[in-house]
Structure 1
Amino acid sequence: MASFTGPNCCLNYSTVDMYLKYELQPTSVRTLVHFYRVTIRSGVITKYDHGSSMANMVAYGQSSPPEYHMPNIPHHLPLLLSYGGGDRLSDVKDVQLLLKDLRNHDADKLVAQLVKEYAHLDFVMGVNAKQVVYDGLIAFFGKHS
């Protein structure tokens, strides 16, 4: 799993088997293809590319899938982005591009937290995730509720 998500620093290994047994749901090939096209091939976040101009025309009324315009996220909407330095699914470069798109967001409504030693699964199963991530997340929700 780490070869796909990144090298985890802080996994609670006593819970990994239970988590993998009950929590991970299979994903579709379509989702994986979309992930590849968006992040690896184009670097642009779009709706699903149906693979042909004709199929996209049927789905969207245009030959290519429409882009998601991240700057259109309402500026007053509270956003907390917590990401890991070793995460291969939401890597630092991608999050920095997103933050660039959100540069006009209300400063008091946007928090970006880089946890350098974390990879993807550390956020869910890290032995210190409560202190490193979740306590701040709960405080953020409390401030903006």
Structure 2
Amino acid sequence: MPEVNCYDFMASFTGPNCCLNYSSVDIFLKYELQPTSVRTLVHFSQTFRRGVIAKYDYESSMANMAAYGESSPPEYHMSNIPHDLPLLLSYGGGDMLSDVTDVQLLLNDLSNHDADKLVAQLVKEYAHMDFVMAVNAKQLVYDGLIAFFNKHS
């Protein structure tokens, strides 16, 4: 029976992680993966395929009308985020779930945000899971995140 390398499996949909602490990956895989509904996976797929962040699409004008009062699911407009809400966006150059292009689109939507309340931090070598399990995440991400929280609390 062929073996599955869980590290390669994660990288296949999150991107090539650079700095994983492999002992924490084992713990993550043991405790953190949680079941989800098919509807949640379908919604994720709709967002990915359409390139639009919107409410769940029931794939029926009548069902959407019943749920939303519109024949199509309404979009979430990131520009509606309050301009004075402190936001820190930390993203990775190798992240395949929230890639650099998508983050740039989000930053464009937030172009009217108060400049002193918006921080965008690119960690070039990181992929998605590095933010959770990298050996250097404390220094590269979390120390700055704590400082951001302290500044805006």
Bin of the TM-score, shorter chain as denominator length: over 0.9
Q: RMSD in angstroms over aligned alpha carbons? A: 0.9
Q: CA deviation at 1:72?
A: 0.8
Corresponding position of 2:112: 104
Instruction: For residue 23 of structure 2, give the secondary structure of its aligned residue in structure 1.
Output: helix
**CA offsets 1:92-128 (integer angstroms, 9 cap, x no match):** 1111110000000000000000111100100000000
Partner of 2:35: 26
Q: Map of 1:1-145 to 2, 5 A cutoff?
A: 1-39=10-48, 41-145=49-153
Secondary structure class of the residue paired with 1:45: coil
| Paired positions, count | 144
C-alpha distance in 1 between matches for 2:16 and 2:35: 21
Give aligned-pair identity as a percent: 84
CA drift of 1:134 comes to 0.1
Spell out, residue by residue over 1:49-102, the C-alpha distance to the aligned partner (whole angstroms, 9 max, x if none): 111111111110111000111111000000000001111111111111100000
- In structure 2, how many angstroms separate the alpha carbons of the residues matched to 1:75 and 1:85? 26
Structure 2 distance, partners of 1:91, 1:115, is 12
Q: Could you list the runs of 5+ residues in structure 2 that have no partner in the other structure?
A: 1-9
Per the TM alignment, residue 29 of structure 1 is displaced from its structure 2 partner at its CA by 2.0
Cα displacement string for residues 24-60 of structure 1 (whole angstroms, at most 9, x for unaligned residues):
2122222222122112x22111011111111111110
Which one is further off, 133-142 or 89-98?
89-98
SS at match of 2:140: helix
Opposite residue 28 of structure 2, the aligned amino acid is Y
Q: Tell me how far apart the structure 2 counterparts of residues 110 and 24 of structure 1 sit (CA, whole Å).
A: 31
Aligned partner of 2:5 in structure 1 is none
